[in-house]
Amino acid sequence: AQSVTQPDIHITVSEGASLELRCNYSYGATPYLFWYVQSPGQGLQLLLKYFSGDTLVQGIKGFEAEFKRSQSSFNLRKPSVHWSDAAEYFCAVGVGGATNKLIFGTGTLLAVQP
Protein backbone atom coordinates (compact mmCIF):
# COMPACT_ATOMS: atom_id res chain seq x y z
CA ALA A 1 0.00 0.00 0.00
CA GLN A 2 1.12 3.53 -0.65
CA SER A 3 2.25 5.49 2.38
CA VAL A 4 4.34 8.45 3.45
CA THR A 5 6.29 8.60 6.69
CA GLN A 6 7.52 11.76 8.36
CA PRO A 7 9.36 10.45 11.40
CA ASP A 8 9.74 13.81 13.13
CA ILE A 9 6.50 15.11 14.61
CA HIS A 10 8.02 18.26 16.05
CA ILE A 11 11.36 20.00 15.37
CA THR A 12 12.80 23.13 16.95
CA VAL A 13 15.67 25.01 15.32
CA SER A 14 17.34 28.33 16.01
CA GLU A 15 16.91 31.13 13.54
CA GLY A 16 19.77 31.04 11.05
CA ALA A 17 20.43 27.34 11.57
CA SER A 18 20.08 24.78 8.82
CA LEU A 19 17.06 22.53 8.55
CA GLU A 20 16.34 19.06 7.24
CA LEU A 21 12.90 17.48 7.39
CA ARG A 22 12.72 13.79 6.63
CA CYS A 23 10.25 12.03 4.38
CA ASN A 24 10.11 8.39 3.31
CA TYR A 25 7.54 6.99 0.92
CA SER A 26 6.27 3.60 -0.12
CA TYR A 27 5.00 3.39 -3.69
CA GLY A 28 5.55 0.78 -6.36
CA ALA A 29 5.82 3.01 -9.38
CA THR A 30 7.82 6.17 -10.06
CA PRO A 31 6.46 8.62 -7.53
CA TYR A 32 5.28 12.17 -7.92
CA LEU A 33 6.53 13.83 -4.72
CA PHE A 34 5.53 17.09 -3.10
CA TRP A 35 6.26 19.23 -0.08
CA TYR A 36 3.53 21.54 1.19
CA VAL A 37 3.58 24.02 4.07
CA GLN A 38 0.63 24.98 6.25
CA SER A 39 0.61 28.05 8.47
CA PRO A 40 -1.86 28.12 11.38
CA GLY A 41 -5.43 28.35 10.17
CA GLN A 42 -4.38 28.30 6.54
CA GLY A 43 -4.54 25.91 3.61
CA LEU A 44 -1.57 24.19 2.05
CA GLN A 45 1.02 26.04 -0.01
CA LEU A 46 3.18 24.10 -2.45
CA LEU A 47 6.89 24.44 -1.70
CA LEU A 48 8.28 22.17 -4.40
CA LYS A 49 7.68 19.03 -6.42
CA TYR A 50 9.56 16.17 -8.05
CA PHE A 51 8.25 14.37 -11.10
CA SER A 52 11.41 13.24 -12.91
CA GLY A 53 14.86 14.39 -13.98
CA ASP A 54 17.30 16.16 -11.70
CA THR A 55 16.95 14.63 -8.25
CA LEU A 56 17.72 17.92 -6.47
CA VAL A 57 14.78 20.27 -6.83
CA GLN A 58 14.53 23.89 -5.84
CA GLY A 59 11.41 25.42 -4.44
CA ILE A 60 10.08 28.66 -3.10
CA LYS A 61 11.31 30.46 0.02
CA GLY A 62 14.82 29.01 -0.33
CA PHE A 63 13.80 25.38 0.18
CA GLU A 64 15.21 22.44 -1.72
CA ALA A 65 14.61 18.69 -1.63
CA GLU A 66 16.54 15.68 -2.84
CA PHE A 67 14.93 12.55 -4.24
CA LYS A 68 16.84 9.37 -3.41
CA ARG A 69 15.23 6.36 -5.03
CA SER A 70 17.50 3.87 -3.26
CA GLN A 71 16.38 5.17 0.12
CA SER A 72 12.77 5.96 -0.89
CA SER A 73 13.33 9.40 0.56
CA PHE A 74 12.53 12.98 -0.35
CA ASN A 75 14.02 15.13 2.41
CA LEU A 76 13.41 18.87 2.57
CA ARG A 77 16.29 21.21 3.38
CA LYS A 78 16.93 24.88 3.97
CA PRO A 79 20.40 26.29 4.70
CA SER A 80 19.26 29.10 6.99
CA VAL A 81 15.88 29.16 8.70
CA HIS A 82 13.91 32.35 9.24
CA TRP A 83 11.35 32.92 12.01
CA SER A 84 8.64 33.09 9.34
CA ASP A 85 9.35 29.46 8.42
CA ALA A 86 7.60 28.28 11.58
CA ALA A 87 4.71 26.17 10.29
CA GLU A 88 3.68 22.58 9.65
CA TYR A 89 5.28 20.80 6.72
CA PHE A 90 3.69 17.95 4.83
CA CYS A 91 5.31 15.53 2.43
CA ALA A 92 2.98 13.88 -0.10
CA VAL A 93 3.08 11.33 -2.88
CA GLY A 94 0.75 11.51 -5.86
CA VAL A 95 -0.74 8.16 -6.75
CA GLY A 96 -2.99 6.73 -9.40
CA GLY A 97 -1.42 7.77 -12.67
CA ALA A 98 -2.44 11.33 -13.36
CA THR A 99 -2.00 12.20 -9.69
CA ASN A 100 -5.60 11.66 -8.96
CA LYS A 101 -5.02 11.85 -5.24
CA LEU A 102 -2.33 12.76 -2.73
CA ILE A 103 -1.21 10.57 0.14
CA PHE A 104 0.14 12.76 2.91
CA GLY A 105 2.53 12.17 5.74
CA THR A 106 1.48 13.10 9.24
CA GLY A 107 3.36 16.36 9.09
CA THR A 108 6.30 17.92 10.92
CA LEU A 109 5.68 20.96 13.08
CA LEU A 110 8.60 23.36 12.90
CA ALA A 111 9.28 25.84 15.68
CA VAL A 112 11.96 28.52 15.24
CA GLN A 113 13.77 29.92 18.26
CA PRO A 114 15.11 33.48 18.12
Kindly list the residues in this chain that would bind other proteins in the complex (CB under 8 A).
32, 34, 36, 41-46, 49, 51, 90, 92, 94, 96, 98-107
Query: At its nearest, how many Å lie between other proteins and the CB of residue 65?
Result: 15
Query: At its nearest, how many Å lie between other proteins and the CB of residue 90?
Result: 7
Across 42-73, b (16+ Cβ under 10 Å) vs e yields eebeebbbbeeeeeebebeeebbbbbeeeebb
| Residue 45 or 58 having the CB closest to other proteins | 45
| Residue 13 or 102 having the CB closest to other proteins | 102
Q: Within the chain, what is the greatest distance between any pair of CA atoms?
A: 43
The answer to whether 25 and 93 are in contact (CB under 8 A) is: yes
